[in-house]
């Protein structure tokens, strides 16, 4: 009996050791970073993780070896991003993809650069992320300046002359605020009226925006547009409180929540009817054309989750494929070889043909995908899916 | 003037909401002589209990507030019995440190538990009464009006219980001197249990009242926990009256301070700092807070 137990114990030990050795020797680790818990934007993080897993399952092997996807939760906190990147570097990740929050991405690019880990940022928009021009950092999401300069032009085109904003004090929020300040300074709208832009910066933890919304409501003339430059709960609360005060959406004043949170079902659960006629942005909308790649991805994603994916999921999915293709092109997991391959890559992904610019002017264009799109939409019914919302500005697609 | 009145009214409503959370913390401190660092999480639990009672079982939102207070009361009593009672039975050597660590630990535990059980997504409890009410040219969300009224009623009942009933006298007696209270036949352990249960139930009630206004998520209690701590230090540790006045002051200073700040574009960025600034000024002028007493250590 005793002998039998010893044999079983030894067999288990060998199996475990063999398994663990095999695990480190035979698998290629691909890293993922995303906010999976608050205070990060967990809705986005969750769908990004699912999209990454889908891509890895489909690719299966890299350089003939199975892939191990290791997704780290960064919680929307820069210090967690730094720790996550270090853990992935320690795990020998061939590269890392993902991230949603610019402040976190800003911390992660420092580790990527120091530890020579190729990093493909999926969905963080602050200019500085590629603006630092680190050789190991690439980005699929649009840079703030690339998109919000166009939003400023759209505002001029609709004849708005009094624009107000509540801005979260993060790299993303302050970056958009800077683009608007530059875009509106001394500018006239389509009617020839000088545009006034007033922004108020707020802590991400603020829950009561009433004092500032009352300030906006007291303005004469009334604001034409309230820009809600927040993510997560704050983004929902601004829409809700602006409506409760009778500020927006009204006949005089529209509201534009710019964060991705407005694309999820939680938006309607939290703001209800106040979300009708709100304006938002998305990196994908069916009216732009449903390519076979988009159709295939959307069908698979919906079958797996029962939810419509947003562009954040598509970017995360494409990021995994881009990194995998670069490794195959490099025929190596050596970081510099992977970076060289990423610089040459042309990959037909869900969101289009992805490649990375080598331009260094403006600074944020370095290793940036110039083809990243974003469009402006408006909800017309309560509970509407973003894919059914009215497209306001397809002209943004023009280069 | 109208603008000022609107801001002041908003500050008053917010102050009443803060008061409901802070008086619970103050009650706990006055009797148990410890700061419950899991108070914000009790606020969060109340919000989730009320949310699920209303959405899963279709219970009236106002009724679900009171039911959630009962649930959080029972959770509080259990916590007090299992984790805090040893402080008063002599089983713990370093009482202050133990109280801080255990309540902090429980706070983190409840955050993570809520994250796993309820998910990280933001939710909104059903409205008490949807829509807004016009007060002259001002419009106020009906939920805020309801919550303010309920907060006033709950606070009035609490003050009445503490001031006029035998239980209230017993709580006050234990708060003033545990040994003397025990000599006259009051069981301090039972009063600890009751004070902690009522204190966290008030936080839970506040959370469920706030659900339709500020939305709910597992991390919603962190900021309100900190604010209620600022309030009870401001009002004077252990003083219920101080907690109420401190809450109203904080509500007003946050509302008015953020719009009349020197640089209005940054006012909201410093909103949470106004309370701390007020606290620093009050403590410099009156080190025990507005209505505080010197005797605050555990025995």
In the numeric block, which tokens belong to residue B253?
């200073």
Looking at the predicted structure, is the pLDDT value of residue A20 above 50?
Answer: no
CB A381 within 8 A of CB A277: no
Taking the C-alpha atoms of residue B274 and residue A384, their distance in angstroms, rounded to an integer, is: 40
Q: Which residue of A has its CA nearest to B223?
A: A205
Looking at the predicted structure, is the pLDDT value of residue A210 above 60?
Answer: yes
Strand, helix or coil at B283? helix
Kindly determine whether residue A215 and residue B122, on different chains, have CB atoms separated by under 8 Å: no
CA distance B252 to chain A (A): 11
Predicted local confidence at residue B269, as pLDDT: 86
Strands A347-349 and A352-354: antiparallel
Task: Tell whether omega for the bond before A379 is within 30 degrees of 0, i.e. cis.
Answer: no
Q: Is residue B59 part of a domain?
A: yes
What's the mean pLDDT in A181-193?
Answer: 94
Domain region containing B91: 2-285
Predicted local confidence at residue B169, as pLDDT: 95
Taking the C-alpha atoms of residue B167 and residue B261, their distance in angstroms, rounded to an integer, is: 45
CB A374 within 8 A of CB A282: yes
Taking the C-alpha atoms of residue B123 and residue A266, their distance in angstroms, rounded to an integer, is: 7
Helix (H) or strand (E) holding A377: strand A375-378
**Mean pLDDT, chain A, as a whole number?**
92
CATH of the domain at B153: 1.10.3470
What pLDDT digit, counting tens, does each position of A96-123 carry?
Answer: 999 999 999 999 999 999 999 999 999 9
Strand, helix or coil at B81? helix
What pLDDT digit, counting tens, does each position of A309-357 carry?
Answer: 999 999 999 999 999 999 999 999 999 999 999 999 999 999 999 999 9
Residues of A in contact with B139 (CB under 8 A): 244-246
What pLDDT digit, counting tens, does each position of B139-170 carry?
Answer: 889 999 999 999 999 999 999 999 999 999 99
Which residues are within 8 A (CB) of A102 and not within 5 positions of it... i.e. 6 or more apart?
A: A124, A125, A126, A128, A129, A170, A171, A172, A175
Q: Which residue has the tokens 């796993």?
A: B116
Residues of A in contact with B121 (CB under 8 A): 42-43, 266
Q: Is A382 on the interface with B (CB under 8 A)?
A: no
Which residues are within 8 A (CB) of A235 and not within 5 positions of it... i.e. 6 or more apart?
A: A228, A257, A259, A261, A262
Predicted local confidence at residue B297, as pLDDT: 52
In the numeric block, which tokens belong to residue B231?
């309030």
Residue A9's pLDDT band, with cuts at 50, 70 and 90, is: low
- Decide if domain A26-142+292-365 falls under CATH 3.40.50.970: no
Predicted local confidence at residue A396, as pLDDT: 44
Looking at the predicted structure, is the pLDDT value of residue A395 above 70?
Answer: no
Taking the C-alpha atoms of residue A273 and residue A269, their distance in angstroms, rounded to an integer, is: 9
Q: Exposed, middle or buried, B185 (CB in 10 Å: 0-12/13-18/19+)? A: exposed
Higher model confidence: residue A89 or residue A26? A89
Domain boundaries, chain A: 26-142+292-365, 145-282+375-397
Taking the C-alpha atoms of residue A267 and residue B195, their distance in angstroms, rounded to an integer, is: 39
Q: Is residue B130 part of a domain?
A: yes
- What is the ipTM, given to two decimal places? 0.89
- Kindly calculate the radius of gyration of chain B based on its CA atoms and give it in whole angstroms: 19
Q: Exposed, middle or buried, A217 (CB in 10 Å: 0-12/13-18/19+)? A: buried
Partners of B141 in beta bridges: B132
Looking at the predicted structure, is the pLDDT value of residue A23 above 90?
Answer: no
Q: What is A145-282+375-397's CATH number?
A: 3.40.50.2300
What's the mean pLDDT in A243-261?
Answer: 95
Predicted local confidence at residue A397, as pLDDT: 45
Q: Is residue B296 part of a domain?
A: no
Q: Is residue B294 part of a domain?
A: no
Looking at the predicted structure, is the pLDDT value of residue A24 above 80?
Answer: no
CB A281 within 8 A of CB A258: yes
CB A93 within 8 A of CB A30: yes
Q: Is residue B185 part of a domain?
A: yes
Give the CA dihedral B232, B238, B241, B245, nearest 10 degrees.
Answer: -10
Residues of A in contact with B3 (CB under 8 A): 214-215, 218
For the entire predicted model, the pTM comes to 0.90
Taking the C-alpha atoms of residue B23 and residue B159, their distance in angstroms, rounded to an integer, is: 10
CB B35 within 8 A of CB B297: no
CB B275 within 8 A of CB B65: no
**Closest to A262 (Cα-Cα) out of A283, A278, A286, A247:** A278
Tally of domains within chain B:
1
Q: Which residue of A has its CA nearest to B115?
A: A37
Q: Do domains A26-142+292-365 and A145-282+375-397 have the same CATH topology?
A: yes
Kindly determine whether residue B122 and residue A246, on different chains, have CB atoms separated by under 8 Å: no
Q: Which residue of A has its CA nearest to B251?
A: A208
Taking the C-alpha atoms of residue A76 and residue A257, their distance in angstroms, rounded to an integer, is: 19
What pLDDT digit, counting tens, does each position of A26-55 carry?
Answer: 799 999 999 998 888 999 999 999 999 999
To the nearest whole percent, how much of chain A has pLDDT over 70?
92
Residues of B in contact with A213 (CB under 8 A): none
Label residue A159 left, alpha or beta by phi (over 0 means left) and psi (-120 to 50 means alpha): left
Pick out chain B residues at pLDDT < 50: 298-299
**Closest to A239 (Cα-Cα) out of A185, A282, A275:** A275
């Amino acid at each position: 009996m005793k002998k039998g137990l010893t044999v079983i114990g030894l067999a288990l030990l060998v199996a475990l050791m063999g398994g663990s050795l095999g695990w480190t020797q035979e698998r290629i680790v691909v890293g993922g970073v995303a906010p999976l818990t608050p205070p990060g934007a967990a809705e986005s993080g969750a769908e990004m993780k699912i999209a990454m897993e889908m891509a890895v399952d489909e690719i299966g092997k890299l350089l003939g070896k199975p892939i191990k996807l290791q997704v780290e939760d960064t919680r929307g906190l820069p210090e967690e991003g730094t720790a996550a990147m270090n853990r992935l570097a320690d795990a020998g990740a061939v590269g890392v993809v993902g991230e949603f929050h610019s402040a976190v991405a800003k911390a992660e690019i420092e580790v990527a650069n120091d530890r020579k880990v190729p990093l493909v940022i999926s969905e963080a928009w602050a200019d500085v992320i590629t603006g630092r021009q680190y050789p190991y950092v690439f980005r699929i999401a649009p840079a703030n300046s690339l998109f919000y300069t166009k939003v400023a032009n759209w505002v001029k085109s609709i004849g708005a002359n009094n624009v107000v904003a509540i801005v979260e004090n993060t790299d993303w929020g302050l970056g958009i605020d800077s683009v608007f300040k530059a875009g509106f300074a001394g500018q006239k709208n389509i009617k020839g009226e000088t545009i006034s832009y007033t922004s108020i910066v707020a802590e991400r933890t603020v829950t009561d925006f009433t004092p500032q919304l009352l300030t906006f409501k007291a303005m004469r003339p009334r604001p034409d547009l309230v820009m809600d430059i927040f993510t997560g709960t704050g983004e929902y609360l601004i829409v809700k409180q602006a409506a409760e005060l009778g500020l927006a959406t009204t006949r005089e004043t529209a509201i534009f929540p710019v964060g991705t949170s407005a694309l999820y079902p939680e938006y309607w659960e939290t703001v209800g009817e106040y979300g009708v006629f709100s304006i938002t942005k998305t990196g994908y909308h069916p009216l732009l054309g449903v390519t076979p790649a988009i159709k295939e991805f959307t069908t698979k994603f919906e079958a797996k989750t029962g939810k419509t994916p947003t562009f954040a999921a598509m970017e995360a999915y494409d990021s995994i494929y881009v990194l995998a293709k670069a490794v195959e092109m490099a025929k190596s997991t050596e970081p510099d070889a992977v970076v060289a391959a990423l610089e040459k890559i042309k990959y037909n992904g869900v969101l289009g043909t992805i490649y990375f610019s080598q331009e260094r002017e403006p600074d944020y264009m370095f290793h940036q995908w110039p083809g990243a799109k974003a469009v402006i939409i408006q909800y017309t019914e309560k509970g509407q899916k973003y894919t059914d919302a009215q497209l306001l500005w397809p002209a943004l697609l023009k280069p | 003037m109208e603008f000022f009145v609107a801001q002041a009214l908003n500050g008053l409503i917010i102050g009443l909401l803060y008061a409901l959370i802070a008086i619970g913390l103050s009650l706990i401190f006055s009797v148990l002589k410890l700061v419950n660092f899991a108070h914000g999480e009790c606020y969060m639990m109340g919000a989730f209990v009320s949310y699920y009672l209303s959405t899963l079982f279709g219970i009236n939102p106002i009724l679900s507030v009171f039911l959630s207070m009962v649930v959080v009361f029972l959770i509080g009593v259990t916590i007090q019995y299992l984790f805090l009672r040893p402080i008063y039975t002599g089983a713990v050597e370093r009482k202050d440190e133990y109280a801080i660590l255990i309540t902090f630990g429980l706070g983190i535990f409840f955050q993570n538990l809520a994250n796993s059980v309820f998910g990280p997504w933001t939710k909104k409890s059903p409205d008490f009464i949807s829509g807004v009410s016009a007060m002259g040219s001002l419009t106020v969300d009906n939920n805020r009006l309801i919550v303010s009224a309920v907060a006033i009623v709950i606070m009035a009942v609490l003050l009445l219980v503490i001031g006029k009933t035998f239980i209230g006298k017993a709580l006050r007696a234990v708060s003033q001197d545990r040994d003397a209270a025990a000599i006259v036949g009051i069981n301090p352990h039972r009063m600890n249990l009751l004070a902690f249960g009522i204190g966290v139930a008030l936080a839970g009630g506040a959370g469920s009242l706030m659900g339709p206004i500020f939305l709910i998520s597992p991390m919603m209690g962190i900021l309100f926990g900190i604010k209620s701590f600022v309030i009870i230090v401001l009002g004077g540790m252990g003083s219920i009256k101080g907690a109420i006045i401190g809450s109203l002051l904080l509500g007003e200073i946050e509302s008015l301070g953020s719009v009349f700040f020197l640089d209005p574009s940054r006012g909201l960025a410093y909103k949470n700092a106004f309370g701390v600034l007020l606290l620093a000024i009050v403590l410099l002028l009156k080190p025990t807070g507005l209505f505080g007493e010197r005797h605050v250590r555990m025995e």
